[in-house]
């Protein structure tokens, strides 16, 4: 497995864990499944992952926050980390796309 694929799947795992910590299970599962597909060399994993980045309600719109029913709290550091992960994942995924498109 190339270093790009190894790095990409590690970043996906980290992003999924961060999303789970904020109960963003839908996105966490999306990224975890794509990591599994990519590790198993399923070419659809990259395309499916990249499809998360387009349009309204996309991964780009996710903000990590917690709500206890009364107050909403956001951790600046976690949001900064997630934003960085999201960008790194996209950039790396673009370099891993199949060339026969």
Mean pLDDT calculated for residue range 64-86:
85
77-99 burial string, b = 16+ CB within 10 Å, else e? eebeebeebbeebbebbeebeee
Question: Within 10 Å of residue 46's Cβ, how many Cβ atoms?
Answer: 21
Q: How much is the pLDDT for 67?
A: 76
How do residues 31-63 score in pLDDT, each as one tens digit?
999 999 999 999 899 999 999 999 999 999 999
How do residues 9-34 score in pLDDT, each as one tens digit?
999 999 999 999 999 999 999 999 99
The secondary structure of the chain in percent helix, strand, coil, rounded to multiples of 5, reads 65, 5, 30
């Amino acid at each position: 497995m190339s270093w790009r694929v190894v790095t990409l799947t590690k970043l996906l795992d980290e992003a999924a864990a961060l999303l789970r910590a904020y109960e963003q299970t839908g996105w966490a599962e999306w990224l975890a499944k794509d990591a599994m597909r990519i590790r198993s060399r399923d070419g659809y994993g990259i395309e499916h992952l990249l499809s998360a980045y387009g349009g309204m309600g996309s991964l780009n719109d996710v903000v990590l926050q917690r709500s206890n029913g009364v107050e909403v709290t956001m951790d600046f550091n976690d949001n900064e980390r997630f934003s960085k992960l999201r960008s790194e994942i996209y950039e790396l995924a673009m370099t891993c796309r199949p060339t026969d498109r």
